[in-house]
Amino acid sequence: MKNIKIITLLFVTLCLNVSFGQDEIETVQFEAKLSKKKLGINERLRVDFIMNKDGDNFNPPGFENFTVVGGPNTSISNSWINGKRSYSKTYSYFLAPKKRGTFTIGQATIEIKGNIYKSIPVKVVVSAAVDKPTDPNDPDYIVSQNIHLVAEVSDSNPYLNEAITVVYKLYVSPNTGVSNWREIDNPRYNDFWSQNIDMKGLKVQNGTYKGEDYRYVVLRKTVLYPQKTGKLNIEPLTLDITVEVPTNKRDIFGGRLMQSVHRTVAAGNRTINVKPLPEEGRPLNFNGAVGDFSFRVTTTKNELKATEALVAHVEVSGKGNLKLFKLPKISLPSSLEVYEPEHTEKVSTNLSGMQGKISDAYTIVPQYQGKYPIPSISFSFFNPKTDRYETRSSSELIINVTDGPINSSATTNAVSENNKQAISSSNQFASFKTNTKLLSTKPSYFFKSKLFWGSLIAPLIAIPLALLVKRRREERENDIVGNKMRRANKLAKKYLGEAKQNLGQKERFYDALHRALHNYLKAKLNLETSEFSKEKINDVLAKRMVGDTQIASFIELLKSCELARYTPSSRAEMKHDYDEAATVISEIDKQIRS
């Protein structure tokens, strides 16, 4: 046990010696900094003597040619970052110049651990009085001299649709207290496509501004794509800053008390000169793509049976304005049934702009067997790195349909002139009639003829028939339920007529069916139902006393019309939807109330 205590004591002593040794090795820094290097004779100057170690017996310079109007003020900063200690101690003086000229602030001395350290002398120029004298304690002066909001633009002379970035940085001088800030006016990027880059927290960094040491934070990063040429304006970002300003009051130790005040800073307007894309060498199929891209056309299958489906993908990938142009369309034989393409985007945006891929997926359903080519298509774009247009082309693809009906319309049954049968001379009068038909010339009489007896009996039969028709008409007029049903069926046929004519043609059929459903409600409700949501249609029909089942069926039909445009549908499915629509319209018309 005694040995363990001895070993522990030695280990602690060794650690302390290493710590003290490192502390001794660390370089001592002691320097003088001015609030400004040039000022008017009616202005004031702030001088800070900064050290990174605690010291004693501080001796300021004599400040010849200046009057000390404030100070010394002492401030201490002590922090630990990632296990490393950071210490700073500052003595501040506020000076008023006595005359014009170039003067030197002499050396100050400090004793640190028995050693004397001296600051380097610094020069300051005092000029004639300025119109608006500044006070180092004045909040507006502190903000103007020590706080700067800057918009850094990556390229002030881009091409149309070429990405540029704007980074907003807030620079604060080391001895200025800023406790908080908030955005009070966000820039509006007129004539730009813009996207802000997500930032995870703010990090204080060290840097320089106009040759001076500053701390700064990056507040915002934005990617812009100019949408027109010429000089475009980027509006400023404006912040409300909380600044810690010295007051004339002092604490019990003589230190000057600080006060929080709010001041506004702005980044300033920036002008971007956007160049038009060159006319020379512009391809005919160019549609505004700017960047560096690759292009391809692929299919999920190369061989299939009739009525089976395959998907053709038209894809552009790379870096550029991916969301700002349309993909070229594929050209297919008319015997292939092609649905509207489904557009997908997998694009991320960072400081270098958009990158990723976009694609159009075409669903293709062949109806007949055979080999169908997908011709090569081209995609053109302007590459700002090479300052020229580039074109990428896909290879030709063949779709082989191995099983299914043969397209009879593709075959011709033309008969050649040599195969026509010649007419023989013995039959050259065959088209003339040669048989004789004799007609009687004996006169006919009306009395006791068929026409006579018919005219006599017809009135006797017509009277009871007329009475029967009248009775049936009255019964029908009194049949309210039956009349409603007949009117409903008539309306259904009226509005669904176009849809019925397009059975088998998916897009036309469902467009007509969708239009018929809305037109029916428009006629019955006297409202523009095309502007209604499905929820609104549900509410309106419910108020007109239509049953929940019929309303649900009607809404479901509207959804089917919207979805069916993008999915394969057989003729049997179209017929089912048509019959369902006719039934729903009839049921609603019987129930609906004004």
Q: What confidence category does residue 280 fall into, taking pLDDT thresholds of 50, 70 and 90?
A: very high
Residue 88 to residue 52: CA distance in whole angstroms:
5
Three-class secondary structure of residue 8 per DSSP: helix
Can you tell me the mean pLDDT for 564-591?
A: 77
| pLDDT single digits (tens) 155-178 | 999 999 999 999 999 998 877 778
Give the strand pairing for 122-127 and 38-40.
Answer: parallel
- State residue 169's pLDDT score: 92
Q: Do 358 and 343 touch, CB atoms closer than 8 A?
A: yes
Q: Is the model's pLDDT at 77 over the cut of 80?
A: no
pLDDT at 468 over 80: yes
> The dihedral of CA 448, 451, 452, 456: what is its sign?
positive
CB-based contacts of 591: which residues, under 8 Å, 6+ apart? 544, 545, 546, 547, 550
> Mean of the pLDDT values across residues 203-222?
88
The 10 Å Cβ neighbour count of residue 482 is 12
What is the spatial distance between Cα 7 and Cα 12, in angstroms, rounded to a whole number? 9
Q: Beta strands 303-304 and 397-401: pairing type?
A: parallel
Give pLDDT tens digits for 571-583.
Answer: 777 888 888 888 8
Handedness of CA 545, 549, 550, 553 (dihedral sign): positive
How far is residue 277's CA from residue 283's CA, in Å, rounded to a whole number? Answer: 12
Which of 364-368, 408-412, 421-425, 473-477 is modeled with the greatest confidence? Answer: 364-368
SS3 call for 552: helix
Asked if residues 120 and 134 have their Cβ atoms less than 8 Å apart, the reply is: no
Model confidence at 428, pLDDT cuts 50, 70, 90, reads: very low
Given a cut of 80, is residue 425 above it in pLDDT? no
* Cβ partners under 8 Å of residue 270, min gap 6: 151, 153, 156, 166, 233, 234
Average pLDDT, integer, range 73-94: 78
Per-residue pLDDT averaged across 182-186, rounded?
A: 80
Radius of gyration from C-alpha coordinates of the chain: 46
3-state secondary structure 46-103: EEEEEECCCCEEEECCCCCCEEEEEEEEEEEEEEEECCEEEEEEEEEEEEEECCCEEE
pTM score, whole prediction:
0.48
Residue that is written with structure tokens 């649900």 in the block: 552
The Cα–Cα gap between 219 and 104 comes to 38
pLDDT for position 57: 87
Question: CA 306: distance to chain centroid?
Answer: 39
Q: pLDDT band for 420, please (50, 70, 90 cuts).
A: very low
Type of residue at 342: E
Nearest CA to 498 among 507, 509, 487? 509
Q: How far apart are CA 293 and CA 570, in angstroms?
A: 39
Q: What's the pLDDT score for residue 421?
A: 37
Mean pLDDT of the chain: 79
CA 586 to chain centre: 44
Summarize the confidence of residues 348-354 as an average pLDDT. 91
H or E stretch including 461? Answer: helix 450-478
Question: Which residue has better confidence, 141 or 34?
Answer: 34
The burial class, CB within 10 Å (0-12 / 13-18 / 19+), for 569 is: buried
Q: Please, which residues bridge with residue 206 across strands?
A: 215
The CA dihedral of 527, 531, 535, 539, to the nearest 10 degrees, is -10
pLDDT of residue 252: 66
Q: Where are the alpha helices (DSSP H) in 93-169?
A: 139-146
Cβ atoms 195, 230 nearer than 8 A: no
pLDDT score of 149 more than 80: yes
Residue-wise pLDDT for 96-112, tens only, equals 888 888 999 999 999 88
pLDDT at position 566 is: 59
* Coil, helix or strand at residue 233: strand
Task: Give residue 422's pLDDT.
Answer: 36
So what's the pLDDT on residue 165?
95
The mean pLDDT value for 524-534 works out to 64
Contact 134, 44 (CB under 8 A): yes
Res 519: pLDDT:
77
Show the tokens assigned to 116.
Answer: 């004397």
3-state secondary structure (DSSP) of residue 118:
strand
User: What's the pLDDT band for 424 if we cut at 50, 70, 90?
Assistant: very low
DSSP states along 414-462: ---GGGSPPPPGGGTTTTS-------------STTSHHHHHHHHHHHHH
Q: Which pLDDT belongs to residue 423?
A: 35
